[in-house]
Amino acid sequence: MSIWLLVRRWAHQQFNQLNGRNLLITLLCYVGLSWLLLKLAGEQALTHSLTHFFYYLVVTASTVGYGDYSPETQAGKWVVALFVIPGGLGLFAIGIGRLATHFIGYWKSGLLGKRRINVENHILVLGWNNQRTLHLIKMLQHEERQRRHIVLCVRPEMENPLPGEIDFVRVVSFTDTTDMDKAGVSKASCIIIDNEQDDVTLAAALYCSSRNPDAHLLAYFTDEGLSDLLKSHCPKAECIPSVAVEMLAKAAVDPGSSELHHELLSTHHGMTQYAVRFPESASPTQISRLFTLFKEEHEATLIAIDRGQGVELNPPLDLAVLPGANLFYIADERVNNFNWPS
């Protein structure tokens, strides 16, 4: 076998495997050969200065062709026509193609949830229940209004349902450390777990509680027994049971109850239930004073209080309110500027 055939076969193999290293070697060879051939052709104006040569090579290879520099000798024109322009066009096209492929791959990996999410203090939603999950995310987006990132973490093979609006991670298991690190489970400020299988929800809740005990953990269960089991292991977890049956019964006895509850939970229109913490800097007061303040200044209605011993609905007006208590109220929009007693 001739040496020329071996060289051709090696070059063909390298071109087919044109990775970053081989592309750089090819580019350096192209630049070196271009300078050498132009030098041998007597193109002094193009080769006497590195700046002039590099400028001419880039302008020519990219087909911009300003025309301020051009070959003057017959041999130089042949070199440019047969090597500099064809070689430059090929390398330019390959470079642009590789760059585009890299960006498309990066975008596609994010769409498929394969990238690590670099966020913190975010809301992490674990589980996918089609329209229910989409509705949950839309409500969170309305409530947060760009304050906290929302990260959806799922197990099914799917794409980001809201690209550009939320971050998305796909995992094999909600208890796999490597997978869950991609979703930033240890940096989340709120973790919402909602799956079709309650056992998956329970396992994910226990895992997340161990990884991030300071996060506000919420888990949705259809089986109230598993909800009690989680509370026994994670007292700080907030378990949301299924209330579909209770809602049916209540609406049967008191017509319109389901519409009332839907209105209070909806964040898109009408009066909605909100919560606010009575600040540590405020002076102790009574429900009567806060009730009047809420109504007169914000057209809001104070409906409940949590002093650390559970929620007390419709508290008596003379009930003492100490700093740190959670206050629940109904209003058209969330109030962010209460004039607390000092």
Structure confidence at residue 99 (pLDDT)? 77
Residue 114 has pLDDT above 90, yes or no: no
Q: What are the structure tokens assigned to 158, written together?
A: 């799917």
Q: For residue 309, give the amino acid letter.
A: Q
Alpha carbon distance 293, 285 (integer Å): 12
The CATH number, out of the four listed (3.90.550.10, 3.30.470.20, 3.30.70.60, 3.40.50.720), of the domain defined by the range 122-241: 3.40.50.720
Q: Where are the domains of the chain?
A: 18-112, 122-241, 269-331
> Which CATH architecture does the domain made up of 18-112 adopt?
Orthogonal Bundle (1.10)
Residue 104 has pLDDT above 80, yes or no: no
Query: Nearest 10 degrees: CA dihedral of 186, 192, 194, 200?
Result: 30
- pTM: predicted TM-score of the whole model, two decimal places: 0.64
The model's pLDDT over 169-226, given as tens digits with 9 standing for 90+, comes to: 999 999 999 999 999 999 999 999 998 899 999 999 999 999 999 999 999 988 878 8
DSSP string, 44-74: HHHHS-HHHHHHHHHHHHTT---SSS---SH
Alpha carbon distance 332, 140 (integer Å): 16
Residue 50 has pLDDT above 80, yes or no: yes
Alpha carbon distance 211, 185 (integer Å): 7
CATH topology for the 269-331 domain: Alpha-Beta Plaits (3.30.70)
Alpha helices per DSSP H over 71-130 = 74-79, 85-111
Residue 11 has pLDDT above 60, yes or no: no
Region of poorest pLDDT, from 33-42, 152-161, 244-253: 244-253
Backbone angles phi, psi at 157, to 5 degrees: -75, 105
Alpha carbon distance 40, 209 (integer Å): 73
CB 111 within 8 A of CB 160: yes
Instruction: Pick the most confident of 11-20, 110-119, 137-146, 288-297.
Output: 288-297
The model's pLDDT over 228-258, given as tens digits with 9 standing for 90+, comes to: 888 888 888 888 877 666 776 777 778 877 7
- DSSP label of 339: -
Q: Which of 237, 256, 300 is nearest to 274 (CA)?
A: 300
Structure confidence at residue 78 (pLDDT)? 86
